[in-house]
């Protein structure tokens, strides 16, 4: 995602005063979404968006809709002619009032605030610092300067809308795990697979540490694009495609799966199949780093992996998130 894509309307299409817009927002029940969007769209030349409520805390990686919770409708109008804008807002309130009279479910209060395109496009970037993981992996947001230390492995990253900034504990656990693998000497030249690559942060990090070839899949096309862009940005090759398991190429020496517990359980068998089997002795098999495991779900994930023939080598935890480093010892 670039800056232009984050503003609601291109400045040359609208008539906003120096990129200032009025944002109208309102919460409403799912059943009223269509009618409320329609009413807001009459006032808003800058477009209307519907934000569905998702759970992101418990299972922070895979958003799932919260059934029955209200949606937020946002609409934008240029703040150039305030008299016209105020009239449009008054009309919107009136129409919403009529709607409430007929709707069975309640509609929230219409909120109005001023937003500035520039703040908007860059606000999130302020919360994204240069971050260090383990002793030498560093994520450097593309818009920040950083003076590298001699041993640093620097991942230049612009995650855009894809998951994988390094701000989330589950990603951090994977990067620390990657560094540990590198310290064990098993990353250089290792065939590597990243299931659910998001921004590509893990695949790119592995490639920078010498893993090759590196394959990545993600069900989300935005993530695939982000992975490709971040690989190019770092001058490494990651073969990214849209999809999931099973995968034809493989098995791989190293596999990352930073997904959620429920998906790890569901994919335990095909995931284990992507890991190179050893000769039956400890230390001879390929490795899987499974992350995104909310602590309550850990026993379930462990059972699924054990049944799929994987052995836990190491466990790490940050806050309530757990990662498991597993080996496929083989027959």
Cα distance between residue 137 and residue 175, in whole Å? 7
- Binding segment (CB under 6 A) for ligand SAH, from list 32-40, 116-124, 149-157, 212-220: 212-220
> Judged by CB under 6 A, does residue 163 bind ligand SAH?
yes
> Judged by CB under 6 A, does residue 289 bind ligand SAH?
no
Work out which of 176, 178, 207, 259 binds ligand SAH, going by CB under 6 A: 259
Cα distance between residue 33 and residue 51, in whole Å? 10
- Binding segment (CB under 6 A) for ligand SAH, from list 65-73, 91-99, 139-147, 157-165: 157-165
- What minimum distance in Å lies between the beta carbon of 14 and ligand SAH? 32
Q: Considering Cα of 171, then 174, then 179, then 182, what sign does the dihedral take?
A: negative
Residue 318, CA atoms < 13 Å, CB-side half-sphere: 16
- What minimum distance in Å lies between the beta carbon of 170 and ligand SAH? 6
- What minimum distance in Å lies between the beta carbon of 104 and ligand SAH? 36
**Residues 82-101 interacting with ligand SAH (rule: CB under 6 A):** none
Show the tokens assigned to 15: 């008539």
Q: What long-range pairs does 124-130 form, CB within 8 A, spacing at least 24?
A: 127/167, 128/165, 128/167
- Nearest-CA neighbor of 5 among 242, 222, 233, 243? 222
> Judged by CB under 6 A, does residue 244 bind ligand SAH?
yes
Q: In what order do the strands lie in the sheet with 239-242?
A: 239-242, 214-218, 192-195, 254-258, 287-294, 321-327, 311-318
> Judged by CB under 6 A, does residue 262 bind ligand SAH?
no
Which CB sits closer to ligand SAH, 40 or 217? 217
> Judged by CB under 6 A, does residue 206 bind ligand SAH?
no
> Judged by CB under 6 A, does residue 274 bind ligand SAH?
no
> Judged by CB under 6 A, does residue 64 bind ligand SAH?
no
Q: Considering Cα of 192, then 178, then 265, then 58, what sign does the dihedral take?
A: negative
Query: Torsion angle of alpha carbons 147, 148, 149, 151, nearest 10°?
Result: 180
Angle at 195 between CA 192 and CA 196, to 5 degrees: 135
Work out which of 169, 198, 205, 285 binds ligand SAH, going by CB under 6 A: 198
- What minimum distance in Å lies between the beta carbon of 66 and ligand SAH? 18
Letter string b/e over residues 23-33, b meaning 16 or more CB atoms within 10 A of that residue's CB:
bbbbbbbbebb
- What minimum distance in Å lies between the beta carbon of 194 and ligand SAH? 6
- Binding segment (CB under 6 A) for ligand SAH, from list 156-164, 268-276, 306-314, 315-323: 156-164
Contact residues toward ligand SAH (CB under 6 A) are: 61-62, 162-164, 171, 174, 194-198, 201-202, 217-220, 223, 244, 258-259, 263
């Amino acid at each position: 995602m670039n800056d232009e894509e984050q503003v609601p309307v291109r400045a040359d299409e609208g008539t906003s005063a120096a990129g200032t817009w009025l944002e109208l927002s309102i919460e409403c029940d799912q059943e009223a979404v269509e009618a409320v969007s329609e009413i807001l769209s009459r006032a808003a030349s800058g477009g209307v968006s519907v934000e569905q409520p998702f759970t992101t805390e418990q299972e922070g990686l895979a958003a799932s809709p919260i059934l029955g919770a209200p949606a937020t409708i946002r609409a934008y109008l240029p703040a150039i002619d305030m008299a016209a804008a105020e009239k449009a807002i008054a009309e919107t309130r009136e129409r919403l009032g009529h709607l409430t009279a007929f709707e069975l479910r309640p509609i929230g209060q219409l909120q109005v605030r001023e937003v500035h395109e520039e703040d908007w496009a860059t606000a999130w970037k302020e919360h994204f610092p240069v971050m260090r993981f383990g002793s030498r992996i560093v994520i450097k947001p593309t818009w920040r300067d950083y003076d590298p230390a001699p041993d640093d492995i620097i991942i230049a990253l612009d995650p855009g809308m894809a998951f994988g900034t390094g701000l989330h504990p589950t990603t951090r656990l994977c990067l620390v795990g990657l560094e540990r693998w590198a310290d064990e000497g098993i990353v250089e030249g290792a065939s590597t697979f990243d299931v659910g690559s998001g921004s590509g942060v893990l695949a790119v990090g592995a490639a920078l540490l010498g893993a090759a070839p590196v394959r990545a899949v993600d069900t989300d096309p935005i993530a695939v694009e982000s992975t490709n862009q971040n690989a190019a940005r770092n001058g490494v090759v990651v073969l990214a495609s849209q999809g999931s398991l099973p995968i034809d190429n493989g098995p791989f020496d190293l596999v990352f799966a930073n997904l959620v517990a429920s998906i790890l359980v569901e994919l335990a068998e095909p995931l284990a199949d992507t890991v190179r089997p050893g000769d039956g002795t400890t230390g001879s098999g390929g490795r899987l780093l499974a992350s995104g495991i909310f602590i309550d779900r850990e026993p379930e994930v462990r059972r699924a992996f054990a049944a799929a023939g994987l052995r836990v080598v190491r466990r790490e935890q940050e806050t309530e998130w757990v990662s498991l480093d597993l080996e496929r010892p083989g027959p």
